[in-house]
Each structure stands twice: as structure tokens, then as C-alpha cells.
Structure 1
Amino acid sequence: MAANTNKGFGLLFEMGCGKTRTAIAIAGAAYEKGAIQRVLVIAPTSVVSVWPKEIAEVADFKVTCKALLGTKQQRIRMIEDLQAFPFKALKVAVINYESTWRDGLFEKLQEYDADLIICDESQRIKTHDAEQSKAIHKLGDQARYKLILSGTPVQNDAIDIWSQYRFLDASIFGRNFYQFRNRYAIMGGFNRKQIVGYKDLDGLIRKEHSIAFRITKEEAIDLPEQTFIKRKVQLGKKEKDLYNQIKRSSYAELSNGDKITATTVLTRLLRLQQLAGGFLVTDDSDKPELVNTAKLDALQDIIEDYVLGAGKKLVIFARFIPEVTAIMKMIDKTFQKTGKKQVAIYGAIKKEDRGPIIKQFQEDPDTVIIVGQIDTLGVGVTLTAADTCVYYSKNFNYATYEQSLSRIHRIGQRNTCTYIDLETEGTVDEMIGKALARKEDMAKTVVDDWRAYFE
């Protein structure tokens, strides 16, 4: 089928409603019918490494998938490896939005010539004149088929939809942004250059949904009451080498020690967990230093999409005070000029001050995030104004974790609850997650199993 025949469709599913798996099923069905051979998935950086794992878990067709991470040359080499793959299988390349328009990579993606391009969280191309958006429009013009995945295709302004549909199917809203704006926006302000309102939004929505399918959590009656999502993040090479160095030295110290105790093992695991969260505590300092922002960046992605985009409230749990502080600083920066607010509860917040903070989060529509230490915020409070919470980090105690799950999943909650675990790949984060999934208290098992954490 020739290019530019406008074979595009939108999966406008809220978080937790299965848009990734639906997209994989669509790609698989198209491959089995002989319609496609090569897929390009464009996703937020924090989601790039999730796609290969989802594909491996659910695909019942032959597929080879590469997450294009690393240096530019490493990414180009992975595309070339996909192109040269000698066996019959669906070829899938996954790349982050920011890399698509870089010199060398853009040309290589054009050469890859994907039959199907999937834009995950497509609101990332909402700005019509951004270099990133224009590059993806060009790639879309070349592709035979296109999908956009988003729970929030329109974030703050109705005009956000134009760029996404320019990629998806230019026949819906046209190829000229200003004609689209003149059709649906009411201009005013200084020199009539500001959008002060909209017109014919019903017509806009009808056109949008003519090639899209919308699902909300309320409509997805088969969803379980609680949905668990893992977002994998990666340390940089320098931090990964440092992590492995600390792990090796911990193993050596424990092996040469007279007696292994839970305290000695857990102390060393704490240092590894702090590094997995991006913080390094050096031997000559008590103050942790932020050395990697992978988790913070992944959390910011969620806040931009879910809170600012979908207009939802969010609970964020973290274990360590430096993490809480860094999260709050990031949120302050993200919320600039939005009118949105955050609150926080951690060990230093007096008990008599916590009730008003909870009340503010529950009742004030502009207070959209509450951040807290899991030991402090995770017990005995009601946070049902949110139906989603993010675990930046967890502690080792299953009872505390179980209690924290119930902050949003309790009487008064009307929606399916979603829990997002941020796990740094190849670190103690994954071991903590597995232990809690088995309902284990690590403090009770680390003495017998300590080698597994440091080998």
C-alpha cells in the first residue's frame, strides 16, 4: 500500500486500560496478515524499556524488538541490526521522542522505513511547530499505518489535537495549523494573538473520534479494583559501575565479617537502594548527593501526563527524605504558572499539622499532589481524592506496603486504583518488589538470603 493513504487510528485509553497491549495485538494481527514487517514505537524516555518487556510477555507471534538506548552510534547500530535480522519476524524499534529529530538518527529512522509507527503518549507532539513534532510528522507521512496512544490527547487547549492528527491522518483536520485554529479557536487579547475561547467543540470531538476509540476507567467494567504497573528506569553507565562497585565491596565485607546480622545486611542494602533512587552517600559525607535523575524524570513524565494532562490527583510515596525533597523541587518547577499545588507529609511534619494537610489534598481542587514518606503517609490516612499512586521507593516491610495500598483503595473510592512502581533496572529495587509481591518482610529473610542481593 502506498504511503500517505491515511491509515491511522487513535487508542485514547486512560492509564491502566490496556492501550499498550491493544497496540501490540493490532501490530501482531497486521503482521500475521502480511500488512507490516517493521514497526517504530516512539515513547517517553521512561517507557522505552517497558515496550520490549510488554511485547515479550503478550506477543504470540514471532518478533524481534530493540529499545534504542545509549549513544547515538549505539542506537544507529541497533537499527542496522534490526534491518539485517535474517529470520522471519516482526521487527520493532522503540525510541524516545527527543531522539527522533537528531541528526543521523532521523535519517536512519527514515531509512528503516517503518510500516507502522506507534506514538505512545502522543500528547508529546502537541506543539505543532516543535522540531520534534515536525520530524514525527515527516516519519508519519512515510509510514503506511499509524497509531496514537494517549489518555489525554487534549491537555490544556483543544488545539493540542491538531499536531497529533497531522501525524495520524491529515485529512481529518488538514495540514495547515492556522486554518485549523481559525476554524475552532476564538482569538483575542493583544493584537488578537491569544486564544480566548473555542467554537464548535462538538464538531471537533466528532472528527477526533471518527478515527479513534476512547475508554475511561469508569467504562472499563472488567478492570480489577487494583491495577499494578511497573515503570523501569536505568542508571547511567557511571552510576551503574558505582552501584556494582558498592555491591562487590559489600559482599566482600559481609563475607569477611565474623557474624552476619539483619542490621549489617540492611545497612548495605539501604545504600544500594539510595543509589537506585539517584542518590549517593559518600563515605566522608552524611548528606546524599543527587547523581542520577532517571527516576525523577520518569516521575515528571507521569505528572505531566496524568496530573497536568488528565486533571487527576496523585499520591507519591518515597522512602528517604532526600527523595521527598528532590521530588518536591521537581514538582514546584513543573507546576510553575499552572496554578496547581502540592502538599507533603514526612517525619518532620508535626502530627497536629497533618490533618489540615490531608484535608487540603482531599478538598482543594488545585492541590493535586501529595508527597510523603511511606512510613509516615502510608498509614492511617484517607487519600481517596486520588485513584493513582506512585512508589518512587519502598521500604522492606510488607505490612507497611500493604497499609500504603489502602490509602486510596478504601471506602469512598469510586474508581479503579492504579499503582505505579518506579524500579531501577538491575538493582535492589527489583528484589524489593519481588519480596513484597511474595508478602515477605525482607528484614526477616536477608540473613539467610544475603548473598542473592550482592552477588
Structure 2
Amino acid sequence: MATRTQQRNPQKARQNGSGARRKKHDDDTGLMPVLAKAVREVENAVQRRRVTASTRATFQAVGLLVREERARVKTATDLTEPQRADQLKRLDGVATILAKTATREPALLMLLTDDAEISSSTLALKRELMAAAGLELAVEPPAATTELRVDRSVVPRSVVARQLANPFMPPEFSPEPPPRTGPSRLATWELIGPLLSSFERAAAGAPACMELPEPLPLNHRGPDLMRHQAQLVSSAAEGHRTFLLADEPGLGKTAQSLLAAHAAQAYPLLVVVPNVVKANWAREVGLWTPQRAVTVVHGNGDDIDAFADIVVVNYEILDRHAGWLGDLGFRGMVLDEAHFIKNTSSQRSRHVLRIADRIRSRTARPLMMALTGTPLINDVEDFRAIWQFLGWIDEKKPLPELMHRLDETGLTPLDPGFFPAARQAVIDMGIVRRRKIDVAADIPARRIADMPVELDGEAGRSIRAAEAELARRLVARYDRAAAARVEAGHPVADVLDLDLVRKVAAWEREEANESTGENVFSMVRRIGQAKAGLAADYTAQLARSVGKVVFFAKHLDVMDAAQKAFEERGIGYSTIRGDQTAAARAKAIDAFQNDPGTQIIVCSLTAAGVGINLQVASNVVLAELSWTDAEQMQAIDRVHRIGQEEPVTAWRIIASQTIDTRIVELIDSKAGLAARALDGEDTEVDVTDVQLEALVGILSDSLRSRRR
């Protein structure tokens, strides 16, 4: 504990009245000037709306020092009453500034509560302020026992508003099963290792799916469910509350988890996902449970709706939000790509497990779902963290429900039959694993799944700015053309002259074909470049889950970016490009078809879209959109062809809130993509029509929004 330098002659100080302490105030030295300066810096930052982690640490450090100094001053024996009153008045002044500042930034109030977490950065800053004031500092703990990391925790304004609206947030006391009684036979056994080993020892092809009920009639507003999906939702409706959903990609794990939450009434629901699929989760909520409000946490969460039914947050920013997420009162939690927490010592895993424990402490039987397509026979050790998240085990042993199931086997790890029985006991806790080939009757032989992604950072801002500039250019051109028509005596529609809109769009398209500057074509290419890393991330996840994946792109720089990402992850790949020799192409195809270590083949849409067979894979990633659907369907047909034994899924990576979404809508509406995916129809789409209609849409939207 830090202690103040003691006065050598306190009696003399009292006799002098103004003493050494008063002299320090007069000379603008000591603790008070340091606190005053620090609190003014916080006040200025809040006024400028530039609140950073450093600002929050300063606010908390000043608050702690004010609290400690007030307690010291009240009991100090070396102060006269006038001195005591003077110092308390000065401390009140600092406290008043803290309070006024917190009214402008309510999240700061959470840093002064009795149970507020004091970060290492706050403690370090507190010591700096004390040193600047000339106070003695206690010996700092050894580095080996101190976790030094930057505190980035935040509490969004909307969360504070929800907490104020419901300050007590009572726990959910729904009925629980009666507690298991009596000591466990296996209490002294080490069981985690044998449980994990039981999956490694399983015979090839041994089923790894709990018994699921027959589908029940489900009351939901979304599309119809396939049978295998309805079975899991029915299990949740019947009361099962923990699931390790390990279906292969393409079998609708997102829909199953959202409707399981609906069946269990597990709201508010927390969904933790990789960044690349964050936008897709929000879209799926609108599709499957449109009656439920969803909010997506970006950055510091400044624009979230804390009153929403479903909160979606990505792993990468969980360190900022773990504190308030654990206390918001969630009654369910879904962990997408749950193998992301396999390293239990990582900060990411600690945050996830801490939030899960907080949810269980507040809700008797929360819905907990871990989604991962990773086959159960690989990386069995990864299940340790997932089982902890689900509440099946802790760091050392099975928890009561699983222990009871193991006791019921009547076996110990010394008995030959223990391992299959233990494996089944874990599966019955809630493991659900179906492959596409197992449910082939449920799903079409070829289908397209759209994967919206958010373009963050400078690239995303630049693309949105370029689209805004294109819209302004089109509007200005329309205005000039409309003015010329009016001047020539030709009437123009008051709101929107569609004939003129199409002519302006046609002029823009013709000039774009000859222009080297920013235009609709260069914009689409830039979007492809910005999506490259996200598409590669998703492809890597697929490769881990299902094995071989085909990655298609239009441009070489997008292919280069993807290949670099695969190299960094240690994923084997081959590539097909237009400048390859026939021998190099044959070698690349052979490696993908026959080498288990070559998990991905990176293909050019134009060079590899025809004439090759890649049916060893059943998943295709389309990183860039073509102007014609026929080109994309030809690429998908490299996998969906004679010899393919599994249903094929093509994942289109689409940049949200960009022209990408408009292009997809146009291609689908003109070519009937859904019908072709199911019925095999094939209709050519005019490239110029799609380009023209995309520009017509941008201009029409801009003109309508201007007149609102």
C-alpha cells in the first residue's frame, strides 16, 4: 500500500498554522494540483468526445485517489481543522468535476462502483500520479505475478440505459431438476483424460449424435425447417438445454440455434461469432425469427441497442465488452465456430468462459450452444474448452450432470467397456453431428448460400466514399440533363423521371468502359480486394470443418491475398491461373484431388470455370461476384458433376451495404438463381443489363432520398 511521506515535525506544522502542507498548495505542488490537472484532461476528452482507454483509466485512477485521500484527510492527526476543511473542499471540487463529466459519459460511472474491475493500466497510472505528487510508493509486485495488458473494456451508453431502467436485474429462477444426491463412485478418479480418449478410441464411422425426438409442430414465422433441423429444435422445446452442434457446414446450424432459442424462450440471447460471419447472423435473425430485435456490436458498441432480444458480438472485440456482457441478464448463449476457444489459456477463451459462468450463475437452466463443424475424430483435446463452456466439466473434473451419467454406467476407467459407455454419456449431454450425406434427402443437390460480410477499416470507408461520390456524380448529371430538357420545352417528372434515369445510367456505363478513373467497374474490383481476407478466413474455417474446399476469384490480386492468408495459417493449397502451362494445371488439380495435405485449390473464375473436375470437394467459396450468373454456375459445376456423392454448397461472399448486394439481387431476379439451383435450369443473363440496372438503382435511390 502506498503511504504518504510523513512530516518530520508535525507539532511545528500545527504551530505555524500554514505548515508544510499549506505551503505545498501555495506553491502548486503536492497531490491536489496533480488530481486537478488529470481530471481536467478527462473533462476535455469527454467534451471533445474522444474517450479512449487511457481516458477511462485516468478517470478511474483519479476517483480512487480522491476516495483514498478523503479517507486519509478525515483521520489525519497532523492537520488542523482549517487545513482539514480546506483539503476536503479541494477534494470535493475534483469530485464534482468527476460527477459532471460522468453525466456526459455515463459509462464512466461504472468505473467507480465498489465491484468495478481495476485494470493494470489504471493501477499503473495511479502510481504515476502519486509519483508526480511526491508520494511514497509501495514496492511493486514482481512482474511474474502481475498481468500487464492494456485495458480496453467499455460500457456502451445503451447498456447503461438498460441497467438504469432495470437496476436490480433479478436472476431467473426457472424450475431446476432435483439435485443429484449421494457421493459419486468416481469422485477420486481422474476422468477428463479418459473422456477425451473415449472419442479417439471410437471405431471408424461410430455415430456421434444424441438421440433426437421426432419433429414437433413449431410456431415460428420463418421459412420451413428441414427434418434434421426440426429435430434439434424439438429437443430444445422438450427441455434439453446444452448442445454441441457439430453438423457439417451447409446444414443450417445458424437457423437451428436461433429457433432453439425461440423454442426455449432463451432471451435475451448472446451470440459470439467470428467477424467474418457477424453480418450474416444479423441477416439470419431477420429471416428465421423476424419478431426478435437483433443488435450487432461493432468497435466500442456506441450504436448498439442494449434492449434488443439478440446481441451479436465477434471474438476479436470481446475483451472490450466481456464485463457488461456477463451482467446483462442473458438467458442463452451461442458460440459459433466454437473451436476458436480451444486454447483455454488465451484471453479469448477466458472471456468466453467467464461470461458463460456468469450466465449460469444468474439463470437456472440457460440455453448454451457451441457450433462447430470440426469432425469429432480430430483435435479431441479441443473439446476440453467447449465442454467447459457448456457446463459439462470444469478445469479438473466432470460436473454433477455428467458425473451422474458416468456413475450410471457402473464402470470405471479400468473396465474394458468404460470408454464406449463414457463416450455415449458425453454424447447424450448434447452432441449433435450430422453430415450432408446423412441428410441428403433433406437438402438440394446444389444450393447457393449467401455470406454477408462487413467491410471495416480504411478499405471499407474508402469504398463507401467512392460509392457516395458515384451517386453524387450521377445526380449532378441527371440534374443537368433535366435542366436541359426543361429549357428545350420538354417536361420532366417532378419526383423521378425513369426514362431520364435510364439514359443517364447508360451514359455513365458507356463512359466507364472507356475511363481509367473511379467507376462502377473499378469499384467492384476494389470490393473484391477488400473481401479477399474475409473470404480466405471463411474458406480456412470450411477447410478445417469439412476438408477440401474450392476457392474462386476473378482477379489475380484477390487470389494472391487468399494464398498469402493460407500460407500464414499453414494450410496446403494449389492454384489454377490463366498463365499456367497445361502440365502445371494438371499438377495442381492432381494435388488437390489426391494429396490429403492440399486442402484448398485457389481458382480463377475465367481460367478454371470450365473444363476441369474438382468433385473431391463439395464446398465452393465465391470470393468475388461475376457480372453474369452463368459464369458463377459454371464454376460451381466444377464440383457439382458426375462422380459427386454429396450435396454441393456454394458460399457467395457479399459485402454488405455496397453495390455487391445490388448486383446479387439483380442477377438473382433476372436469372432465377434459386430455381436453377433446385431444378438445373440454365438461363443466360445479359452482362450490360446487370451493369445498367445497378447504376439505375444507385441513381434512383439517391434521387428519392433527396426528395424526402
What TM-score comes out, normalization by structure 1 length? 0.79
SS class of match (1:95): strand
Task: Tell whether the 8 Å contact from 1:341 to 1:367 is kept in structure 2 after alignment.
Answer: yes
- Could you tell me how far apart the structure 2 residues matched to 1:178 and 1:22 are? 27
| Aligned AA (1:407) | R
User: What one-letter code is carried by the residue in structure 2 that aligns with 1:316?
Assistant: F
Give the structure 2 partner of residue 326 of structure 1: 561
Q: CA deviation at 1:238?
A: 3.7
Q: How far did 1:148 drift?
A: 1.2
Asked if structure 1 preserves the Cα contact closer than 8 Å seen for 2:615 and 2:639, the reply is yes
CA distance in 2, matches of 1:354, 1:361: 11
For 1:28-177, list aligned pairs within 5 A: 28-31=262-265, 36-59=266-289, 62-69=291-298, 71-74=299-302, 78=304, 81-83=305-307, 91-102=309-320, 105-143=321-359, 144=363, 145=366, 146-152=368-374, 154=376, 156-170=378-392, 173-176=393-396
Q: What is the distance in 1 between the residues matched to 2:329 and 2:595?
A: 49
Change in Cα spacing, 1:352 to 1:41, as seen in structure 2 (3 Å) is same
Q: What secondary structure is seen at the aligned counterpart in 2 of 1:235?
A: coil
In 1, the alpha carbon distance for the partners of 2:659 and 2:579 equals 27
Structure 1 residue 10 corresponds to structure 2 residue 239? no
- For the residue of structure 2 that corresponds to 1:365, the secondary structure is coil
1:20 aligns with 2:254: yes
Distance 1:241 1:97 in 2: 22
Distance in 1 between the 2:436 and 2:608 partners? 26
Alignment of structure 1 residues 18-417 onto 2, 5 Å: 18-31=252-265, 36-59=266-289, 62-69=291-298, 71-74=299-302, 78=304, 81-83=305-307, 91-102=309-320, 105-143=321-359, 144=363, 145=366, 146-152=368-374, 154=376, 156-170=378-392, 173-176=393-396, 202=420, 205-210=423-428, 211-220=430-439, 221-236=441-456, 238-251=458-471, 255=477, 260=507, 262-265=509-512, 268-278=519-529, 292=530, 295-303=532-540, 305-307=541-543, 309-335=544-570, 340-417=571-648
User: What SS does the corresponding residue of 2:246 show, helix, strand or coil?
Assistant: strand
Distance 1:200 1:233, change over 3 A: farther
Give the unaligned 5+ runs of structure 1: 86-90, 180-198, 279-291
Q: Structure 1 residue 383: deviation in Å?
A: 0.6
SS in 1 for 2:269: strand
What residue in structure 1 maps to residue 157 of structure 2? none
Q: Is the 8 A contact 2:535 2:621 kept in 1?
A: no
The alpha carbon displacement at 1:355 in A equals 2.3
Name structure 2 gaps, 5 residues minimum: 1-171, 178-239, 400-416, 482-503, 672-684, 703-708
**2:532/2:558 contact within 8 Å kept:** no
| AA aligned opposite 1:332 | E
Inter-partner Cα distance in structure 2 for 1:431 and 1:260: 19
CA separation in 2, counterparts of 1:92 and 1:443?
Answer: 41
Deviation at 1:38, TM superposition (A): 1.1
In structure 1, C-alpha distance between the alignment counterparts of 2:590 and 2:698, rounded to whole Å: 41
Write the deviation string for residues 288-311 of structure 1: whole angstroms up to 9, x where unpaired: xxxx5x5413431431x321x235
**TM-score calculated relative to the size of structure 2:** 0.52
Larger radius of gyration: 2
Return the alpha-carbon distance in structure 1 between the equivalents of residues 453 and 348 of structure 2. 22
- d(CA) in 2 for partners of 1:96 and 1:252? 34
Structure with the higher fraction of residues in helix conformation: 2
Q: Give the number of the structure whose residues are more often strand, by fraction.
A: 1
Kept in 2: contact 1:374–1:394 (CA 8 A): no
3-state DSSP of counterpart to 1:101: helix
Does structure 2 conserve the Cα–Cα contact (< 8 Å) formed by 1:265 and 1:450? no
Given the superposition, is the C-alpha separation of residues 345 and 177 from structure 1 closer, same or farther in structure 2, using an over 3 Å criterion?
A: farther
Contact map agreement 2:620 2:651 (CA 8 A) in 1:
yes
| Residue type of the alignment partner of 2:347 | E
Amino acid at match of 1:131: Q
Write the distance in 2 (CA, Å) between the matches of 1:23 and 1:178.
Answer: 25
Supply the distance in 1 between the matched residues of 2:243 and 2:369 (Cα, whole angstroms).
5
Contact 2:536 2:566 in 1 (8 A): no
- Cα distance in 1 between the residues matched to 2:611 and 2:432: 39
State the alpha-carbon separation in 1 of the partners of residues 379 and 283 from structure 2.
34
**Cα distance 1:252–1:120, how it changes in 2: closer, same or farther (>3 A)?**
closer
Looking at structure 2, the residues matched to 132 and 157 of structure 1 have their Cα atoms a distance apart, in angstroms, of 19
User: Aligned equivalents of 1:302 and 1:136: distance in 2?
Assistant: 24
CA root-mean-square deviation: 2.9
Residue 448 (structure 1) shift = 6.1
261 and 380 in structure 1: CA distance in 2 versus 1, 3 angstrom threshold: farther
Shift of the 447–118 alpha-carbon distance from structure 1 to 2, 3 Å rule, reads closer
- Larger mean CA deviation between 371-380 and 205-214 belongs to 205-214
- Give the SS at the match of 1:260: helix
DSSP-derived class of the 1:63 partner: coil
Could you tell me the percent identity over the aligned residues? 21
- Please tell me whether residue 426 in structure 1 is matched to residue 657 in structure 2: yes
Greater Cα shift, 116-125 or 128-137: 128-137
Displacement of 1:63? 1.3
Change (3 A) 1:398 1:26: closer
- The one-letter code of the counterpart of 2:695 is W
Deviations 1:25-74 (A, max 9, x none): 1111122xxxx3311011111111111211111116x31110111x2152
